[in-house]
Structure 1
Amino acid sequence: MEKTINTDGQHQNRISALDGLRGIASIVIVAFHVYGFGFFVLYNKLLFIQKYFAFGVTMFLIISAFSLALNYHDKIQSAASIMDYYINRYARITPLFIFMTIVWILINNLDFKTRVDLNEIVVNVFYLYNFIPDKFGGIIRASWPIGVLFIFYLLFPFIINFNKSIKSAIIMQCVFIIIGLSMYSFFKNQYYPPNYAYVSFFSQLPIFGFGILSYYFLKAFNIRTVGRMFISAVGLIGFFLVFYVLSRFFSYEDKIFYEKNNIAILYYYIMGFFMAFFIYSQCLYSTPVIDNAITRFYGKISYSLYLLHPLVIYKITPLYTYFQSIGGMSKELSYFICFLVTLIIVTPLAYLLHKIFEERASFIMKTSLKRVFQI
């Protein structure tokens, strides 16, 4: 089991459990989209996938905020360091994002006979599409979390410099929740797409706040090994228990997307809190089922996997139809086979994109931008 805090209380600059958790989140998201895009929504026995697996995105966002706080909490103070941070973040995600944007523009043109206008392309390249209710999904299918995440990247230097302690992080999170509830209520009463209120950056802001808050708890307390093991077990058990209990009160699609009250988003924030505690607990003392070579590998390629998997699902949809049409095969088994086939296809392709774009192209862009801005 991975111990993530040294005995003197100093935190390692990289926590392997975060990679494992990020890998699990990416696999869960693939499973969710195979379910949704593959027309398995028609089968009630698979409804648990709809209820639970969409929260893989939530985990991904919390981990992203936690990781940023871990790596930058005392490093972004001068104008030069802030510019360096912005270049690193932009260069980290942009080469692959632009490549996949081009791919989806071609698909829209060739397969769907629709053209993407120049304004939409510009808005996507600069990650501002979350602010446009009719375009929040992005050109790349299911890329709304990337738009939300980049806005958080922009605000992060100011957020982290405000937070110097657990107390200030708690105050900030209270403000974030008020903003999230208020904007969710406002968007629900506008003539926007019904799920925009949920995917809006403002509604997701408290989710990032939970990630930052959990980091400050990790930083503040030097807990002995036995205590770390206990908290890890409580976090793991509590995570699943809370999700089960809260899921009895609402269906993900019905409540989060379509109800015109704040109860649904409040449940979502409660889930976000317990998910952040779960992530915190695994950073204290991770279990092998979460932190292992396989999950860490998927965590490493998670960004490429996320951007690529909707394209793979779209292209192999005829396979889904074929497996669902086989007589004598249960829908549950056909879903599992389709998910497994999707993962087998997307994994090596995502690894290849990771090596080309996330490592090589990102490095070239980063060094070029730093040369231009003389950093």
Structure 2
Amino acid sequence: MAIGSNNRYENLDGLKVIAAFGIVAMHVSSNMGHPLTSEIATNIIGSMTHFVKLFLILSGFGMCCGYYEKFKSGKVNLEKFYIRRFEKNLPFFALLVCIDTLFSIKTVLWRDVFSSLTMAFNLMPSHDMSVIGVGWTLGVIFVFYFMFPFYIFLLSTKKRAWFTVIICYILNWCCCNYYESVGKTDGANFLFLSIYFVIGGVLYLYKDYIQEKVSGIPTFVVLLATAVITMVWYFIPANEFSLFFTVKTSILFAIWVIFAISQPMKLLENSVTKTLSQVSLEVYLSHMMIFRVVEKFGIADRINNGNIAYIVVLFLTIILTIVFALIAKRVIDICFRRLKKAER
């Protein structure tokens, strides 16, 4: 069984790593002007932008693993809950905001700097921030944290949970319809993305049933089914800002999570994925900053082959981002421990 101690599903570490580094690969490709000679490879890598939705499903599922029963039973300490959310995410993000601000001091919008540091910036009228552009995902996740007690209320029974799923799909359609009417899209809108958090919660409610039914299926059959379903998703065309796209994407990633929590897979559950998953969000948040540093060296300009140039730049970006994330997180953890020790 793919469940570990403390109700922790080890295979989800692998999914976090796949999502984080898939997004890195997509951003490097798009910012290099899509240098790959294969159009199919470029399109596949480009579609990895939607791994953000997988992150949101995993956030919904993971938060339920840690807090669903505590909130339902009234045993949660709200002050500790929200302090934990800020302690875990704000220091590293604030570090990136400060670095980005220093390097763009002449053009930075100070309103964006301030609102970013409150972690409430997704509630701003516009989510197009001038600092840490990829940070919009963290903004969406923090709105989810702010609303988490209400989220538990919506998932308090399976019947209410399914009703919430329907409502969130309708809200997604409302957002798509609004985008079409005004001629402008906003993929960072919380209501537009709320269905993915809810899907994660529903998967939590059915986790035992899912494990019972799926764990007996041979692993190779699961992997084959995953590959086929993913290919079907890829070859069925749909506008990104449409209800149909949301439905097919949420189903795809829900199936990924279903298989991950039901099957022991060394590819997803190992010491490497466990280590990398602990900094997966940090890698996501900092990779564009590291890419810009790599870009300054002009490595791609010295390599005539676009495929090789992309692989080299991507490799350097990934390695340097991992090193930066691990070191920064370690230093932040040490500082926090010393501060807490001093307070005593």
Tell me if 1:290 matches 2:274: no
Q: Kindly tell me: are residues 188 and 82 of structure 1, through their superposed partners in 2, closer, same or farther at Cα, counting changes over 3 Å?
A: farther
Match among 236, 256, 278 for residue 249 of structure 1: 236
In structure 2, C-alpha distance between the alignment counterparts of 1:62 and 1:366, rounded to whole Å:
33
Q: How far off its partner does 1:122 sit?
A: 2.6
Tell me if 1:37 matches 2:31: yes
Q: Give 1:317's aligned residue.
A: 295
- Pairwise mapping of residues 84-99 of structure 1 onto structure 2 (< 5 A)? 84-99=80-95
Q: Kindly tell me: are residues 37 and 152 of structure 1, through their superposed partners in 2, closer, same or farther at Cα, counting changes over 3 Å?
A: same
Tell me if 1:114 matches 2:107: yes
Q: Give 1:83's aligned residue.
A: 79
Q: Give 1:18's aligned residue.
A: 12
Q: How far off its partner does 1:363 sit?
A: 5.8
Contact 2:36 2:310 (C-alpha < 8 Å) held by counterparts:
no
Q: Per the alignment, in what secondary structure is the counterpart of residue 54 of structure 1?
A: helix
In structure 1, C-alpha distance between the alignment counterparts of 2:179 and 2:341, rounded to whole Å:
40
Q: Kindly tell me: are residues 211 and 234 of structure 1, through their superposed partners in 2, closer, same or farther at Cα, counting changes over 3 Å?
A: farther
Q: Kindly tell me: are residues 362 and 45 of structure 1, through their superposed partners in 2, closer, same or farther at Cα, counting changes over 3 Å?
A: farther
Tell me if 1:303 matches 2:281: yes
Tell me if 1:55 matches 2:50: yes
Q: Per the alignment, in what secondary structure is the counterpart of residue 142 of structure 1?
A: helix
Mark the runs of 5 or more structure 1 residues left unpaired by the alignment. Answer: none
Q: Give 1:339's aligned residue.
A: 314
Contact 1:148 1:200 (C-alpha < 8 Å) held by counterparts:
yes
Q: Per the alignment, in what secondary structure is the counterpart of residue 212 of structure 2?
A: coil
What's the TM-score once normalised by structure 2's chain length?
0.88
Q: Which amino acid aligns with 1:217?
A: Y
Contact 1:305 1:350 (C-alpha < 8 Å) held by counterparts:
yes
Q: Which amino acid aligns with 1:53?
A: M
Q: Deviations over 1:12-56 (max 9, x none)?
A: 421211222112211111111111222226853542344431122
Q: Which amino acid aligns with 1:82?
A: L
In structure 1, C-alpha distance between the alignment counterparts of 2:68 and 2:340, rounded to whole Å:
21
Match among 328, 341, 352 for residue 327 of structure 2: 352
Q: Kindly tell me: are residues 344 and 311 of structure 1, through their superposed partners in 2, closer, same or farther at Cα, counting changes over 3 Å?
A: same
Q: How far off its partner does 1:221 sit?
A: 5.2
Q: Kindly tell me: are residues 306 and 138 of structure 1, through their superposed partners in 2, closer, same or farther at Cα, counting changes over 3 Å?
A: farther
Identical residues among aligned pairs (%): 20
Q: How far off its partner does 1:167 sit?
A: 2.7
Q: Give 1:202's aligned residue.
A: 191
Q: Kindly tell me: are residues 239 and 361 of structure 1, through their superposed partners in 2, closer, same or farther at Cα, counting changes over 3 Å?
A: farther
Contact 1:23 1:297 (C-alpha < 8 Å) held by counterparts:
no
Tell me if 1:230 matches 2:217: yes
Q: Per the alignment, in what secondary structure is the counterpart of residue 211 of structure 1?
A: helix
What's the TM-score once normalised by structure 1's chain length?
0.81
Q: How far off its partner does 1:347 sit?
A: 1.3
Tell me if 1:163 matches 2:140: no
Q: Kindly tell me: are residues 222 and 98 of structure 1, through their superposed partners in 2, closer, same or farther at Cα, counting changes over 3 Å?
A: closer
Q: Per the alignment, in what secondary structure is the counterpart of residue 59 of structure 1?
A: helix
In structure 1, C-alpha distance between the alignment counterparts of 2:337 and 2:283, rounded to whole Å:
19
In structure 1, C-alpha distance between the alignment counterparts of 2:336 and 2:192, rounded to whole Å:
30
Mark the runs of 5 or more structure 2 residues left unpaired by the alignment. Answer: none
